[in-house]
């Protein structure tokens, strides 16, 4: 009986640690709608479109990789703040009335086929950061 209890404890511990390791990979595959303030301070791979809604603020200080030509859209009243973090690949669209702020050496690096579209009426503040388009 004691041996069985030990085995059950090991199984529970293994299941907990496996789910913890999976969560640490930070791979986002489902549609992502940001509706409040969020802070991304750890690296992530994004396999879906990201929509930053009105009144929402997404602050990024980590390395974000967007796969499969997905798009980050900042809607009217939404804000994306890149503070020393990086965004690679994908498309960036800042709609009229939105804000895109790149500060503290934040970097957006896009390929030549990616879209970087700051609509008229959007706030674009590039203060000690950069946007790079690679061939």
Q: What are 48-63's pLDDT values in tens digits?
A: 999 999 999 999 999 9
pTM (predicted TM-score): 0.78
Residue 42 covered by a domain: yes
Residue 68 covered by a domain: yes
User: Band of the pLDDT at 27, cuts 50, 70, 90?
Assistant: low
Tell me how many domains the chain contains.
1
Among the ranges given (7-16, 37-46, 64-73, 123-132), the one the predictor scored with the smallest mean pLDDT: 7-16
Q: Do the beta carbons of residue 80 and residue 95 sit within 8 Å?
A: no
Q: What is the pLDDT of residue 43?
A: 96
Residue 5 has pLDDT above 70, yes or no: no
Q: What is the mean pLDDT of the chain?
A: 84
Q: What is the pLDDT of residue 67?
A: 85
User: Band of the pLDDT at 25, cuts 50, 70, 90?
Assistant: low
Q: What are 69-121's pLDDT values in tens digits?
A: 899 999 999 999 999 999 999 999 999 999 999 999 999 999 989 999 999 99
Q: Do the beta carbons of residue 95 and residue 71 sit within 8 Å?
A: no
Q: What is the pLDDT of residue 108?
A: 96
Residue 9 covered by a domain: no
Put the strands of the sheet holding 86-88 in their side by side order: 27-28, 44-46, 63-66, 86-88, 107-111, 130-134
Residue 2 covered by a domain: no
Q: Do the beta carbons of residue 77 and residue 98 sit within 8 Å?
A: yes
Longest CA–CA span in the chain (Å) reads 71
Q: Do the beta carbons of residue 90 and residue 71 sit within 8 Å?
A: yes
Residue 98 covered by a domain: yes
What does the alpha-carbon distance between residue 99 and residue 43 come to, in Å, rounded to a whole number? Answer: 22
Residue 2 has pLDDT above 90, yes or no: no
Residue 11 covered by a domain: no
Expressed as residue numbers, the domain containing 35 is: 27-134
């Amino acid at each position: 009986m004691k041996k069985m209890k030990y085995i059950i404890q090991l199984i529970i511990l293994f299941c907990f640690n496996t789910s913890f390791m999976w969560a640490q990979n930070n791979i986002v595959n489902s549609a992502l709608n940001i509706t409040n303030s969020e802070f991304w301070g750890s690296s992530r791979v994004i396999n879906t479109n990201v929509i930053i809604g009105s009144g929402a603020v997404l602050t990024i200080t980590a390395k974000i990789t967007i796969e499969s030509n997905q798009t980050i859209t900042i809607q009217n009243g939404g804000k994306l703040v890149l503070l020393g973090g990086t965004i690679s690949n994908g498309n960036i669209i800042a709609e009229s009335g939105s804000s895109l702020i790149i500060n503290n050496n934040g970097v957006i690096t896009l390929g030549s086929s990616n879209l970087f579209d700051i609509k008229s009426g959007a706030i674009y503040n590039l203060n000690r950061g950069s946007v790079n388009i690679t061939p």
